[in-house]
Structure 1
Amino acid sequence: MDFEFSPRTRDLREQLLNFMAEHVYPNEERMYAEIDQGGDRWQTIPTLERLKTLARDQGLWNLFLPESELGAGLTNLEYAPLAEIMGRSHFAAEIFNCSAPDTGNMEVLVRYGTPEHKEKWLTPLLNGEIRSAFSMTEPAVASSDATNIQTEIRRDGDEYVINGHKWWSSGAGDPRCRILIVMGKSDPDNPDRHRQQSMVLVPLPHPGVTIVRHLPVFGFDDAPHGHMEVRFDNVRVPASNILLGEGRGFEIAQGRLGPGRIHHCMRIIGVAERALERACRRLESREAFGGPIANQSIWSERIAESRIALDQARLLTLHAAWKMDTVGNKEARMEIAEIKVAAPHAAIKVIDWAIQAFGAGGVADHVMANAYAYARTVRIVDGPDEVHRNQMARLELRKYRNADPARTGGEGKVYLA
């Protein structure tokens, strides 16, 4: 395996770094301020919209979408370093039209949508004209096991009728959100628990869809994006709005979440890298007890441990991206599960130490506070740690069931002196 940047990635990486330095970092505080202006936090951010136009004009647009002519044509491995750069700012991914859940939803529409779906929703999403949301998690059941979901998708003639209660529908608070991908049960009695679910497209606004409230993350409302609680009351959509066919929802979810986990992990590494850089600059500029704080041995140890943790997480993530590109998402599921656990754990540790380096200022800083909230949330989104650890254990145990222990000395005997 070779993790050397491709020429295309090197060029795009340099362009991204320049764009971030020239346009994104200098405008972060302005964008935070614009969210609070006018008394309505659930409106578009003018500076962000201006930067989106600029990014698109410079060709820094839709950099994801492997194996598709609609994006930049990058592999997962080529895109991963770019996602890390975008992770360094709370606003950056959307500026380049590479933010969740739109990336995952666009991938779903590319892979599983009909020509009509693509014309109606994929094209405006790729153009950055609308936003989207993904409704899977439910408050009444443990949604980490997707077979638990209870939202009903019932066929009625030429329509599907949807009834259910969802939450953490990220993106549904955005005034530009025009499409929900909803997962529910269309065949609850199917003996195959993984064939009971379907996914259906629900356009917004819709008279049967009620946005109940936004759900804060450590007190952040993430406006104007938001994570919303949503009710579906006799929501009728054309039968043609089904994705791939009845009973294919679990299959689609697995296909959607693989690349999304790579994106989350590389973004969170970027978040933590920026936190480490800011901490190091702070430690060298502040004095306590007769010298720079950076000279204290405890901080030397923390800086070194931070570098080890982030480099380990990055290499694991690049390896997972390489496997996805070479053998496919299904064969790379062990590696994907590994990074989904390892990357946020590394980031949380590094960001926590960075906050400590800033002292009281660290808990009031926009960048640090958002970084910590995001890193902790990534331990839950797209499957909690526990689910990924269970999958890794099953895959690890499976390797030895039919293997010859004589080849490895792994026969499991206990040798007593």
Structure 2
Amino acid sequence: METKLTALTVVLVITATVTADYVRPQPRKTLHFPWNPKSSSHPQQVHISLAGDKHMRVTWVTRDGSSPSIVEYGISPGKYSSIAQGESTSYQYLFYSSGKIHHTVIGPLEHGTVYFYRCGGQGPEFQLKTPPSQLPITFAVAGDLGQTGWTKSTLDHIDQCKYDVHLLPGDLSYADYMQHRWDTFGELVQPLASARPWMVTEGNHEEESIPLLMDGFESYNARWKMPFEESGSSSNLYYSFEVAGVHVIMLGSYADFDEYSNQYSWLKADLLKVDRRRTPWLVVLFHVPWYNSNWAHQGEGDEMMAAMEPLLYAAGVDIVLAGHVHAYERSERVYNGMPDPCGAVHITIGDGGNREGLAHWYKDPRPKWSVFREASFGHGELRMVNSTHAFWSWHRNDDDEPVRSDQVWITSVASAGCFTKNPELRKMLLAP
């Protein structure tokens, strides 16, 4: 028995501890965006996202409703060998009228290649780099961003990271009903989001519903269209994508998730499609953490965990990333509230720089599954090195200097023999 457990044990090498004399920095004010007049057809708030195999969605906003939704692109500056036609939308929110929001899918694109592109037939030239076709691949991770001085510092640190895709587990702009804040957020992230794909899921600050007047997530869905249709989902609030040997599932904490819901049915179907020989890593993101020893938002993810954790366990999910709690915490592999060598590593990283401040208070004593926790702003970097090993690091935002404060090697569930542990349970849970 001991030999079997040893074979299943996932090696987590912890190489950092909390610095005892660290003084947490003070909150910073919301950023001010001076008026910067541009022509009504000038592309603004440009960001890109993955849109199926070898394709990328380019999104931007213009104030001119007649601007075309075209993207010209090529592999040489100023020389566009291809052109793509897209779609556009707009929305009204009380007294606010959005600009024309363009979504154009370009491709097929070569992997690991720099492309130059222009939106709407005019304006500045942008460049992007497509992700690699195979491992290794690096993800930058930061949730609960907002638009404060700490947000700007966090984005500067991410810009120093040689990453391929940005993952954001909810709470983007903190517009909170003030729709112009969606526009300023688009301006703030454009330098990064126009160059690397940003894959996001919704948080509570994206809901913005007004009973009898406004449905939830209208602004978010109009501005941040993700590849839900490409992944067989019926909602922009949950979807999946594959990139370089990693299958990533973005779940919706604010969409129905019980066993009779569309999201639950979609999740089971999506997990059944995963081929661990082709995509040895399985990563899941959503907003509200399931494993959280902070007093903030305690227990809010329990119902979703009760419904969906057995599915993730049966499928052998490696890493779960969440936000919502404005602090950092990493678990060891855990399932059903207890350490389990075949469970997922849960990471809460809702510390991107929001205006609400940090969640300082943790439960004591520390739960058995909790390995590292700290209330500081920062970002994470997840590098899938090969089919069996990944390296995770969290970089505390220490007065504008990124300080690597937690790091760990993670061995994949698929390589640890976990699929032979309880095949009957897996078959039962994942059966169509």
Answer whether TM exceeds 0.5 for this pair: no
> Which of the two has greater strand per residue?
2
Question: Higher RCO, 1 or 2 (CA under 8 Å, sep at least 6)?
Answer: 2
TM-score, L = length of structure 2: 0.27
TM-score, L = length of structure 1: 0.28
> Which of the two has greater helix per residue?
1
Q: Which has the larger radius of gyration?
A: 1
